Amino acid sequence: MFDGKAAIVTGSTSGIGLSIATAFARQGADVILNGFGDPDAIERTRADLAAETGVTVLHSAADMSKPAEIAALIGLAESAFGRLDILVNNAGIQHVAPVEEFPAEKWDLVIAINLTAAFHTIRAAIPLMKRQGWGRIINTASAHALVASPYKSAYVAAKHGIAGLTKTVALEVARDGITVNAIAPGYVWTPLVEKQIPDTMKARGMTETEVKEQVLLAAQPTKAFVTVDEIAGLAVYLASDAARSITGTILPVDGGWTAQ
């Protein structure tokens, strides 16, 4: 479906981003992976995906909290492929604490990676997409772009911000063949969710099972975690020509969470 196209997926060495990048590569797009982790494991992932799909797969360790590194990431698509068709802003971190104890430097980091990074990638990517007369920008938001939960002030603020950025940019590029949408997952079982369990146990004085059942899946009527493949399936659809009239939307994939 995407032969000859080039995609960047930020935060794609793990979890949702890796699943989205894999799906785009399987549909024929050249892909730049981005994110942190063990260098050998990342290289294995990159080489395996390239071997399986036959597309070019690169990795950039650009830090999404650093504007100069973000500019270099977009520049890599231009220098390696001469184009950028699909941009997925997916890198994200979480920090869980009551607002009055929330470390200021954690607030800054969550806002930088989960929100400001998307501003920097988008502003650099749009001239390339306008030149092509075609582009797809997909932001991984969250159910927390639509509703809040306690102890996640920075994350909820960043994700609500991503929703606003998505709508605003969609309006600005509506006549340029570029769509801008956000996917709003409920709880997806990834390292990001796994890592926040100890802090939530501490903040709420709960056991691990209580956190899973009463905090995480309490909000999700299906009582099942969303899978990374379900998110990737929607990303592929949003990037397809069939979705050309879908723009400026925040699409929940949340087992009914935000229907309540």
Catalytic residue, chosen from 151, 155, 187, 237, is 155
Specify which residues 137 forms β-bridges with.
Answer: 87, 180
Closer residue to ligand NAD, CB minimum distance, 110 or 178: 110
Cα separation, 8 vs 34, in Å, equals 8
Cα separation, 181 vs 138, in Å, equals 5
* CA 169 to each of CA 180, 236, 244: distance values in angstroms, whole numbers, following the listed order: 7, 20, 15
Contacts of 189 (CB under 8 A, 6+ apart): 225, 226, 227
- Write down the residue that tokens 């999404």 correspond to: 64
**Residue choice 2, 9, 17, 29 for contact with ligand NAD (CB under 6 A):** 17
**Minimum gap (Å) between residue 241 Cβ and ligand NAD:** 25
Residues 34 and 74 sit within 8 Å (Cβ to Cβ): no
Binding mask 195-234 for ligand NAD (x = CB under 6 A): ----------------------------------------
Could you tell me which of 115, 114, 90, 118 has the C-alpha nearest to residue 23?
90
Cα separation, 184 vs 253, in Å, equals 6
Decide if residue 163 touches ligand NAD (CB under 6 A).
Answer: no
Decide if residue 185 touches ligand NAD (CB under 6 A).
Answer: yes
How many other CB atoms sit within 10 Å of the CB of residue 156? 20
Query: Applying CB under 6 A, which part among 33-41, 119-127, 146-154, 200-208 lies near ligand NAD?
Result: 33-41
Decide if residue 35 touches ligand NAD (CB under 6 A).
Answer: yes
**Residue choice 4, 36, 47, 229 for contact with ligand NAD (CB under 6 A):** 36
Decide if residue 92 touches ligand NAD (CB under 6 A).
Answer: yes
**Residue choice 7, 8, 9, 16 for contact with ligand NAD (CB under 6 A):** 16
Answer yes or no: 187 catalytic: no
How buried is 252 (Cβ within 10 angstroms: 0-12 exposed, 13-18 middle, 19+ buried)?
Answer: buried
How many other CB atoms sit within 10 Å of the CB of residue 127? 11
**Residue choice 22, 27, 116, 142 for contact with ligand NAD (CB under 6 A):** 142
Closer residue to ligand NAD, CB minimum distance, 157 or 192: 192
Decide if residue 193 touches ligand NAD (CB under 6 A).
Answer: yes
Active centre residues (catalytic):
155
Residues forming the site for ligand NAD (CB under 6 A): 10-17, 34-37, 63-65, 90-93, 113-114, 140, 142, 185, 187-188, 190-193
